[in-house]
Chain A
């Protein structure tokens, strides 16, 4: 699985031999590849007007392009804000709650993200074909798809340590601009242009997987909530800046502590482990039917409803499993 940003085809349908050669080299003799473009075909076409575009079939004959429009940027942030508003609105009656939830569109975005990641995973696992994923910049929906696909495909990404590695690779080093994406979150009136909850969407999708495969992830909800918190505001330098270059310039590694170092301490670590975890060597294919996708209570109602009874249940589970 490869990732990139969009090719700069532009309105004049420019070609680039090096790019074509590079992609050609990825494929074996007679092999076929898939390009998953996370923009709609329409949007991808329009991108040509501003210098971007898509890989033309003629120049990349062994690659087949699939479009899966994933929401990003401003509309995604709006979706997030609306959802948080709805969750905090005590005046909604039961007969309006679901339509209000629907109007936020957040769950649709979760469904779309999971579906696309599964598509990428299918290409690799079932079709045994290589996959190239890109959107426009290659820093948002692209990373969402590649990271999620790996959780689905690769059991080592589902371990605590493996998951941290995945985050480092596919989000932090890959250059997701945390600095601007995770700035003010949902309550701010500022409505910053660059803000968008892609990382939260990723965590939500991982939570959906943990619900559907309760034994297959070594970590639990608590880790996901901690990551969400730290992406926005942290005592650690792990999510600072927007890419490796900036981190170098700011001397992040020299002047801050790593979140991972703290999380991996034995006494901390056990709080994040899933007591039900057993190594599952197989691919985990989630259901993306609407009934299977649920609103992430633990996050969106975190401060609104007591988690006492659920926490007690987890303590019971720990006890039952631990006593063995």
Chain B
């Protein structure tokens, strides 16, 4: 569709005009007649909702909201076209079959072996070995080898040695969705473990011998402790209500030597609404500080993040300080349980704070244990009530921890943002379906590629320059401040306002430090080479050998010199309620627009005041995001393969 306008969220006057394209996998907007070809590409899988708004004089507005929080406002001149686009997008954004997803057509031009190797990068067996398992208390069980016991669990589960197949099967019958207690994390220093399950089908008074034996087995697998914590991550009221439906929670009287604990984390519906409200705050036009703070509080979002974090801290403390094992569950054991177990593991074990370790953590606690990616993140069109930002919350917990402990993580914020993006993008096969069983049936590993291999290849972009494996912060357990600590939880504008470049510091400290580190390393290597050369020369003065020196590439631009227009930023509208400045002619722009447009440093202009007031015309229009700017999106081989190049306008 031609002559479509792409509006800036904050100012309806800064509109780019171009052509809208719909393909099988993307919707694209290509701006007309600029020297640099500015394109906006959005994957259909990323589209969360499409809103057709009332037709105005300029055309028919269409608002596209994405799962990665990008919001795109289009104005299509003809109502007919707008309707067609709307209907098409609705259909495209709601695939019915897996084969429609991008991962089945995405082609990074790797051969079969490379694809396989990519999938092998994360090996859970290796991970359990690293933990020290199997050992004399824990072993691998094949009881679920054909998914016969629990179809949402992996084929390989780790259980206490004293838990026989009979006990496991019996216990699974007493657990919601048959998700029996299984090992998530083993702390070999303390012999304490974190196990996970779903809620017991205890109703008001039902008992199950095998389930009780299962818990005993877990407790006994930790000889240093005479009791087991059972942590129910639901609010007490919800758990009690479940009893009326024949489910519920463990009665301390029936299970010997357990200490039961509720940690109230709200359910997926509450979280879905919470995110919704927070995003509404993000969409406010020129909010006051009050609007923002009230809106954020009303959404309850940070409160929920803190609840998840507190649960993780409780469990980490139980394991690390008390040396007590913990069994965690919620209702079905695939949402809050996953969040809480992975936060606890992250706090306990520095391995999970490395890049590889984090990938392993997600594979273990989320992918293998049957978190319902399809239902929660809408790979396919499904029940909207199943949608919930569960893994987003976990990812945010990690970011909050990174802010508190800047030296403790090997990876940076960009790593987290890209992972979140790809959970929704369906460009890779890792996060499809609802269980290992389903993925196996669809032969995911043979038909799609692994995200981890791709990210690993680009790991230089994801490193945290402040990380040193021998730093005190990176070793041992992390101890986040418990209280007072409300103020420690910040709004993550890097995620939720990711596409509004004007809000973020213009210069990335991370990128700068990484560049400095790289240059230092190169210089050191060069120094070494020169040193050797000197030694050689001194040794053999009569020798004619010429030592070829490496041509080091010294063209590293940190982009911080004052002559570099990268730094130029433009003022937003600072005078909301005033008709301050008369219009300026465009020729008064003092920055080189073409140059700015290729850099990711533009600040979008601000609220349009009344019809009469004129903007600061110094504000440039939308920029094209050069993927090499290391930017917001997992731009695959930028420019090399047009399939992957993802340009986004702000």
Contacts and interface: CB of A to CB of B under 8 A. Distances in A.
B297 A98 contact: yes
A306 B405 CA distance: 11
Contact of A290 (B289, B297, B473, B488): B289
Interface in B432-446: none
Contact of B487 (A119, A278, A297): A297
A107 B289 contact: yes
Interface stretch (A51-59, A173-181, A182-190, A309-317): A309-317
A90 B288 CA distance: 27
Interface string B258-274: 00000000000000000
B93 to A, nearest CB: 28
Contacts of B571: 118, 121-122, 126, 285
A287 B560 contact: no
Instruction: Place the interface of chain B in its size category.
Output: 35 or more
Interface stretch (A159-167, A195-203, A210-218, A248-256): A210-218
Contacts of B405: 309
B418 interface: no
Nearest to B485: A305
Given A320-B465, A320-B466, 18 more contacts: A94-B303, A94-B489, A101-B293, A107-B293, A119-B574, A119-B575, A126-B571, A126-B581, A282-B562, A290-B287, A290-B293, A291-B493, A309-B404, A309-B406, A313-B406, A316-B471, A317-B466, A320-B520
Contacts of A291: 282, 292, 491, 493, 497, 503
Interface of A: 66, 68, 87, 89-90, 92-99, 101-102, 105, 107-108, 111, 115-116, 118-119, 121-122, 126-127, 211-215, 276, 278-282, 284-285, 287-295, 297, 300-301, 304-306, 309-310, 312-313, 316-317, 320-321, 323-324
Given A280-B562, A287-B503, A292 B516 contact: no
For the residues of B in contact with A, the DSSP-based class is loop
B293 A215 contact: no
A320 B516 contact: yes
A261 to B, nearest CB: 30
B520 A323 contact: yes
A122 B574 contact: yes
A93 B282 CA distance: 23
Contact of B603 (A93, A108, A285): A285
A111 B302 contact: no
Nearest to A64: B580
Contacts of A215: 507, 509, 512, 560
Nearest to A101: B293
A212 B505 contact: yes
B490 to A, nearest CB: 7
Nearest to A112: B289
A316 B409 CA distance: 13
B291 interface: yes
Nearest to A215: B507
Contact of A312 (B407, B509, B513, B520): B407
Interface in B570-604: 570-572, 574-575, 578, 580-581, 584, 603
B299 to A, nearest CB: 10
Contacts of A288: 572, 574
Given A213-B506, A288-B574, A324 B520 contact: yes
B296 interface: yes
Nearest to A99: B297
B359 interface: no
A94 B302 contact: yes
9 contacts: A66-B578, A66-B580, A68-B575, A98-B302, A102-B290, A282-B567, A289-B572, A313-B466, A323-B520
B288 A95 contact: no
Contact of B513 (A212, A278, A321): A321
Contacts of B610: none
Contact of B486 (A97, A212, A324): A97
Rank and list the top 6 A-B pairs by shortest CB-CB distance, nearest first: A290-B292, A313-B406, A98-B297, A102-B293, A281-B562, A97-B486
